Amino acid sequence: MVRLLFIILLGYLAGCQQTFVMESEQIVSPTAASSPVVLAGTPQSRSVPTRAATIPPAIESDPIMTLTPDRQLAGPWLSPTPSLTLTMGEQVIGQSVEGRDITVRHIGSGPRIILLVGGIHGGWEENTVALVNELITHFENTPEDILPGMSLAFVPSANPDGLIHGRVEVGRFNANGVDLNRNWGCDWSEDAIWRSQSVFAGSEPMSEPETQALARYIQDTRPVIVLFYHSSAGGVYAGECDGDHGSMIMSQILGEATGYSYGEVFTAYPVTGTAASWVDGQGIPSADVELFSWTETEFERNLNGIMRLQRWLSVE
C-alpha cells in the first residue's frame, strides 16, 4: 500500500514538472511571435524561430574581436598579427570632406561578412540611406536572421556631405563636387558621365576621403559580398573589373530573390570608376542595387534578397 502511494506520488510530481515546462513554453512563444519575419516570395520562405530564448545579449556588450585580411588562410578570429580590430556595434571608419563621420554598424559574429552600403549618392538617393537604417533596425531586433557563419556590416551613409542637401542635384556629390560612384580605381576616367551631363570624377582615382574610408574598410575586412544601394533604375547591376569575380552569379541570385532585373549591363549612359567594379576587381562579388523608386525603401524585397544571399553562403 505504501509502495502504491509512493508510485502515485511520483506520477503526480512528474505531471507537475510536465505542466511547468508547457507553461514555460507558452510564456516564451508569444514573445517570439511578436516579431515575425514575413518574407515575400514563397520559394525563399522559411520557418520563423519559435524560441525567444535563443536571442543573444545586446550587441553593444559583445567583446571586441579581431579579423585578419586573409581569412581563408589565417582563420577568422585569432592571428598573431591582427591587422584590424573590429568593434561590434557602431564604428567610425573615416570622415567626409566636411568632417562628418562615416560609420559602419556590424551585427553578428560569423566570419563571412556581407557589407551593405547606402547613400553613396547622398541626398539625391536618400531613400537608400533610409533602407539601410531600416535593415539595421531589423537585424538588431531579429538577430536570429543572421545565419550561421555570417555577419552583416552596414554603412548607411557613404556620402554624408551630400545627404544634408536632400533631393537636389548638388546632394548627389560630396563637398568637393565629386560623384563618389565615378571615383574608384577600376576603369576610372576624368570624362565621367551622369545622364547627359559631365560629372567630376575627382582629381585622380580614389582621391576622395569617403572613397578611401570605404576602400580601406573593404580591404581590411574582406567581405564576401558588397552591395551598393542606388535609386531608381530598378535593377541589380553586377560590378565587373577585368573579368567576372563572382559578381554575375551573385547578382542573378539577388535579382531572383528581390524581383529586380539582373543580367544586363547598365546602358542608359556610360559609367566609369564605380565602387562595385572596383570591389569586383578585389575578387569580391559586388553589385549596384537600384531601387524602383527614389521615395520608397522597398524593405521587404531587399530583406528577402539579403536572406537569400545568406542562405547561399551560410555554413553551419
Residues at the contact surface with Zn ion, assessed by CB under 5 A: 121, 125, 230
Which position's Cβ is nearest Zn ion? Answer: 230
**Residue nearer to Zn ion on the CB measure, 143 or 234:** 234
**Residue nearer to Zn ion on the CB measure, 3 or 195:** 195
CB of 125 to Zn ion, least distance (A): 5
**Alpha-helical regions (H) of 88-205:** 126-141, 160-163
**Ramachandran category for residue 225: left, alpha or beta (phi over 0 → left; psi -120 to 50 → alpha):** beta
**Residue nearer to Zn ion on the CB measure, 151 or 176:** 176
Amino acid (one-letter) located at 22: M
Interior angle at CA 87, CA 153 and CA 159, nearest 5:
50
Grid coordinates of 110: 560569423
DSSP string, 175-219: TTSB-TTS-SSSS--SSEEETTEEEB--SSTT-SHHHHHHHHHHH
CB of 288 to Zn ion, least distance (A): 7
Distances (CA, A) of 251 to 72, 143, 246, 271: 23, 25, 9, 18
**Residue nearer to Zn ion on the CB measure, 76 or 119:** 119
CB of 79 to Zn ion, least distance (A): 36
Distance between CA 135 and CA 124 in Å, rounded?
Answer: 20
**Residue nearer to Zn ion on the CB measure, 182 or 308:** 182
**Residue nearer to Zn ion on the CB measure, 112 or 121:** 121
CB of 227 to Zn ion, least distance (A): 13
Contact 151, 104 (CB under 8 A): no
CB of 175 to Zn ion, least distance (A): 17
Contact 255, 301 (CB under 8 A): no
CB of 100 to Zn ion, least distance (A): 19
